[in-house]
Amino acid sequence: MKKTIALICEYTIFPERIGGMDYFFVAYDAALKEKGYQPNWFFKDVTTFDFYKELIINSANNRDLESYFLNECLVKNLKFDIVITHFLQPVSPFFKVIKNQMNPYIINVDHNPRPLEGFPIKKRLKNKVKGLLYGKYVDKLIGVSAYTKKHILNDFGAYLNHKTAVIYNGIDTSVYIKRTNNTSYNSNSLSFGEGWGEENKIKFIVVSHLRESKGIQDLLKALYLLEGTILNSIMVDIFGDGPYKNELMQLQKDYGLENIVNFKGNSPKLNELFYQYHYLLQPTYMECFSLSILESLACNVPVITTTVGGNPEIIIDGVNGYLFKPKDIKALAQIIQKIVTNEMAISNEVYSNIEKNFTLKLMVQNHLKLVTCI
């Protein structure tokens, strides 16, 4: 008899955004079916489109996902041998309920970044209590970076170490167009201040959910600090949407950046766009292990980002990008200025590590091992 798997993902599916996790969900579904499993997916909200046509999908329609899952199981008498969660809290009463209800093997994959200043003392104490009360109901805890694993243990208790592991995110490198010498910025091809037409501007890309914790407001402030000659030598395209968009657009106006910064909205074809840029900018305050960083590097586009989360596990300062401390607006402005004035540049290729160690195939294989060993 085939084992049934429930995959519960606090994630919204819509065709305007097809990113790394979307590719993973589809590839993992196919791999599970090939091994004889019956996967059923439960998402926060779903817009149906062909990319997901092979998956059995249930949508909570933006209701509470945990309550929706439990209710579906009760009403439809659903039983699962394995329950896998993505983007849910790593340890919570939810896992006790489903363990008592159907006794599945439970795997939680933690993608959740932690606050820059850490959790308040009250929440830290609550997490420790949760770890003691509910940690035993989760059979495997997976962090998407060494940073994440460290914080799972810090949050919920070191005694969970024996059931905690790291599986890095990966991407399908074959779908990304690489930047070549013909599309890259050659720091020796132009003297600063001469001939800076549109075609010669240094182009930065931002790919992010637009919320305050992504730090894009710091990027706008950093641009505001730059002298006019420097500023007129660059272009910044921001892809993404979110609740902080109006505030960011107001800052764009307040700082007079309308001709420098462009809000592009969501795009399902970022894999075909990255190569047109010289650097990815990611001034985030919170990150576990960024798929956008992997995607940019796969396109041979170096990354400027902060030292938070798993970023230093993939970005080596001066080799495949530049690192700065979160909220250090002056440091970010200085990096951008030195790139424009040719004082700093990443001229070597930056994609080979991604193609070797952070592929979608490897990610799927490592997640598949979690269920095939049960």
* Sole residue written with tokens 């657009």: 249
Question: What is d(CA 145, CA 151) in angstroms, rounded to the nearest whole number?
Answer: 10
Question: For residue 346, what pLDDT is reported?
Answer: 95
Residues 178 and 140 in one domain: no
> How many C-beta neighbours within 10 Å does residue 246 have?
9
Question: What is d(CA 328, CA 310) in angstroms, rounded to the nearest whole number?
Answer: 18
**Tens digits of per-residue pLDDT, 228-264?**
999 999 999 999 999 999 999 999 999 999 999 999 9
Q: Strand 38-46 and strand 4-13: pairing?
A: parallel
**AA letter at 66:** E
What are the helix (H) ranges across 191-321?
216-225, 228-231, 245-254, 291-298
Residues 190 and 202 in one domain: yes
Residues 254 and 209 in one domain: yes
Structural domain range at position 211: 173-356
C-alpha to C-alpha distances, 335 to 9, 214, 248, 360, nearest whole angstrom: 37, 18, 21, 31
Residues 238 and 131 in one domain: no
Residues 19 and 165 in one domain: yes
Instruction: Give the domain CATH number at 82.
Output: 3.40.50.2000
Question: What is d(CA 129, CA 133) in angstroms, rounded to the nearest whole number?
Answer: 6
* Sole residue written with tokens 């300062």: 317
Residues 367 and 314 in one domain: no
Tokens of 229: 């000659």
Question: For residue 1, what pLDDT is reported?
Answer: 63
Domain count, the chain: 2
Residues 157 and 216 in one domain: no
Residues 16 and 158 in one domain: yes
Question: For residue 46, what pLDDT is reported?
Answer: 96
Which residue positions in the chain have pLDDT lower than 70?
1, 181-199
Question: What is d(CA 205, CA 278) in angstroms, rounded to the nearest whole number?
Answer: 8
> How many C-beta neighbours within 10 Å does residue 362 have?
14
Residues 156 and 243 in one domain: no
Question: What is d(CA 283, CA 331) in angstroms, rounded to the nearest whole number?
Answer: 11
Question: For residue 181, what pLDDT is reported?
Answer: 64
> How many C-beta neighbours within 10 Å does residue 326 have?
21
Residues 215 and 235 in one domain: yes
Residues 128 and 196 in one domain: no
Question: What is d(CA 260, CA 257) in angstroms, rounded to the nearest whole number?
Answer: 5
Residues 82 and 180 in one domain: no
